[in-house]
Structure 1
């Protein structure tokens, strides 16, 4: 019972379970100190502290999200709580999507080019420098998008040949690679820490005394 009580204090982070290796994302989250659950309907967003949008095919994901008001619910969630998009998930978060243009949640100030690194046969596993503590970061690229530009408030945490591949803007993160396919959990731990910080701030705000009229 003690263990269950402790786990209930962990941040509750969902993984959009439409496409991509969402099971591995869920496992990575739990290894990084979070409770994870798979999200398949808009109603399952309500009790989450944060959300991961995994890889897949972004246009196919958009078609699924058009049902039952899912896209609108996801956009509202991303405006209020931490979200981390990987590969196709990064495309969904971007304000500017090119090659070709498509709709997005538009909550992260980056411009993204789809399928920029070629076909699946052009996939790669690279060790890249990062501002995260712990040395070089293993990055798995599969039909990855390229981040063409970032807004002035976007922090670049890792680059590939001069192009950002891991970025953060406030409570929102994006990676053009697949951190769930690596044994290195630093990227997931950074996101879990962001979710914990946001949750603590939100809890503190609810305890503030109401302003006098």
Structure 2
């Protein structure tokens, strides 16, 4: 799941969840919606992702959530320089809080397809 998809996959949504808002709850993670601010606070940052060789990905964050907690079966794949979790995997499920589809780099998609 990408961005809002990560929210849908999360077992817990710590802030910003509306009563009755559907989510799948398939990954043992907690996410916080709009963790980086509003649309004007959108940004790009390099993110090294475990399992993806080469230079860090240029990650695009648009009103992005953040992964605040991961369970024991979840592998953290990527963090920002300040340590915040931005990519995680649980089995064949993948959550990113950034938008890999908005760049010309297809490595994140290839990683997902290889799961």
Q: Please, what TM-score do these two structures have when normalized by structure 1?
A: 0.50
More strand by share: 2
The equivalent of 2:28 in structure 1 is 109
Which residues of 2 match residues 24-39 of structure 1 at below 5 A?
A: none
Contact 1:95 1:108 in 2 (8 A): yes
Contact 1:97 1:104 in 2 (8 A): no
Q: Which runs of 4+ in 1 moved over 2 A?
A: 100-103
More helix by share: 1
Distance across 1 between alignment mates of 2:22 and 2:32: 13
Q: Deviations over 1:8-58 (max 9, x none)?
A: xxxxxxxxxxxxxxxxxxxxxxxxxxxxxxxxxxxxxxxxxxxxxxxxxxx
Of 9, 12, 26, 1:96 maps to 12
Kindly state the Cα deviation for residue 130 of structure 1 after the two structures are TM-superposed: 2.4
Kindly state the Cα deviation for residue 182 of structure 1 after the two structures are TM-superposed: 1.0
Kindly state the Cα deviation for residue 114 of structure 1 after the two structures are TM-superposed: 0.5
The equivalent of 2:68 in structure 1 is 148
Of 53, 62, 67, 1:133 maps to 53
The equivalent of 2:86 in structure 1 is 165
Distance across 1 between alignment mates of 2:48 and 2:26: 26
- Name structure 1 gaps, 5 residues minimum: 1-84, 195-213
RMSD: 1.1
Q: Please, what TM-score do these two structures have when normalized by structure 2?
A: 0.90
Kindly state the Cα deviation for residue 111 of structure 1 after the two structures are TM-superposed: 0.1
Distance across 2 between alignment mates of 1:138 and 1:127: 5
How many residue pairs align between the two structures? 110
Q: Which has the larger radius of gyration?
A: 1
Q: Point out the more displaced range, 113-122 or 156-165.
A: 156-165
Distance across 1 between alignment mates of 2:28 and 2:109: 21
Contact 1:114 1:145 in 2 (8 A): yes
- Name structure 2 gaps, 5 residues minimum: none
Q: Deviations over 1:169-204 (max 9, x none)?
A: 00100100000001111110011112xxxxxxxxxx
